[in-house]
A and B are shown apart, each in its own frame.
Chain A
Amino acid sequence: MNGPADTARSHRDTVTLVVDGVSVAAVRGQSVAAALLSRGGATAWHVRTSVTGAPRGPLCGMGVCFECRATVDGRELVRTCQETVRDGMRVDTAAPAAAPRACPAIPAVPRHGSCDVLVVGAGPAGIAAASAAATAGADVIVIDDNPAPGGQIWRGGAARPEGGARFFPGTAVVTVTPSGAIQLQDAVGTRQVVARRIVLATGARERFVPFPGWTLPGVVGAGGLQALVKQGLDVAGRRVVVAGSGPLLLAVADVAARSGARLEAIAEQADRVRLAGFAAWLVAEPAKLVQAVGLARTTAAVYRLATFPVAVRAAADGLVVTLRSGRPGRERDRDVACDILACGFGLVPNTDVARAFGCAIGADGVVVDERQRTTRPDVLAAGECTGIGGVDKSLVEGRVAGLVAAGAGATAAPLLAEVRRARQFAARLLDTFALDPRLRTLASAETVVCRCEDVVAERLRGFTGWREAKLLSRVGMGPCQGRVCGTATAVTCGFAPDDVRPPLVPVPTGALADAVSP
Chain B
Amino acid sequence: MDVVIVGAGIVGAASALALARAGCRVTVVEERFPGGGATAAGMGHVVVIDDSPAQIALTSRGRALWESLAPHLPAAAEYRRPGTAWVAADDDELAEAAAKAERLAAAGVAARLVGPAELARFEPALRPGLAGALVVPDDAVVYPPPVAAWMVAEAIDAGARLRRGVAATAVEPGGVLRLTDGGRIEADAVVVATGAAAARLVPGVPIRPRKGHLVITDRAPGLIRHQIVELGYVKRAHDVGTDSVAFNVQPRATGQVLVGSSRQIDVTAPAVEPKLLETMLARCFDYLPRLATVPAIRAWTGLRAATPDGLPLVGPWPAIAGLWLATGHEGLGITTAPATAEGLVAGLLGRDAVVDPAPWLPARFLAVPVEAAR
Contact = CB atoms under 8 A, between A and B. Distances in A.
A224 to B, nearest CB: 22
A503 B296 contact: yes
Interface of B: 32-33, 35-36, 40, 76, 124-125, 145-146, 149, 215, 217-224, 254, 259, 271-275, 277-278, 281-282, 285, 289-300
B313 to A, nearest CB: 26
Contacts of B294: 76, 508-509
A105 B293 CA distance: 7
Contact of A512 (B146, B271, B299): B299
Nearest to A509: B296
A437 interface: no
Contact of A479 (B145, B218, B277, B290): B218
24 contacts: A74-B293, A76-B293, A98-B221, A98-B223, A99-B224, A100-B125, A100-B290, A105-B293, A175-B274, A177-B274, A178-B274, A183-B274, A471-B145, A472-B149, A477-B297, A501-B299, A503-B296, A503-B297, A506-B218, A507-B295, A509-B294, A512-B277, A513-B282, A516-B274
A513 B281 CA distance: 6
Contact of B292 (A74, A478, A506, A510): A510
The 7 lowest CB-CB distance pairs between A and B, nearest first, are A98-B222, A510-B292, A515-B274, A513-B281, A104-B293, A509-B296, A77-B295
A444 B62 CA distance: 41
Contacts of A280: none
B277 to A, nearest CB: 6
B219 A95 contact: yes
Contact of A509 (B125, B222, B281, B300): B281
Contacts of B40: 471
A107 interface: yes
B296 A178 contact: no
A104 B219 contact: no
B36 A467 contact: yes
Nearest to B145: A471
A502 interface: yes
A363 interface: no
B145 A502 contact: no
B295 A76 contact: yes
B298 A501 contact: yes
Given A465-B33, A472-B35, A510-B291, 6 more contacts: A100-B290, A102-B293, A473-B76, A503-B296, A506-B218, A506-B295
A175 B278 CA distance: 13
Interface residues of A, number: 45
B219 A509 contact: no
Contacts of A502: 272, 274, 298-299
Q: Which of B35, B145, B215, B220 has the most CB of A within 10 A?
A: B220
Given A477-B297, A508-B294, A516-B278, A100 B35 contact: no
A498 interface: no
A515 B272 CA distance: 11
B35 A512 contact: no
A511 B285 CA distance: 12
Contacts of A20: none
A101 interface: yes
Nearest to B125: A99
A257 B151 CA distance: 57
Nearest to A177: B274
A501 B272 contact: yes
B222 A99 contact: yes
A460 to B, nearest CB: 13
A336 B272 CA distance: 50
Interface string A42-79: 00000000010000000000000000000000101100
Nearest to A106: B292
Contacts of A95: 219, 221
B274 A509 contact: no
A509 B217 contact: yes
A176 B264 CA distance: 21
Contacts of B220: 96, 99, 101
A467 B41 CA distance: 12
A105 B278 CA distance: 18
A502 B215 CA distance: 9
Contacts of A77: 218, 295
A101 B298 CA distance: 22
Contacts of B292: 104, 107, 508-510, 513
Contacts of A479: 218, 295, 297
A103 B290 contact: yes
B170 to A, nearest CB: 26
A464 interface: yes
A105 B292 CA distance: 9
A325 interface: no
A392 interface: no
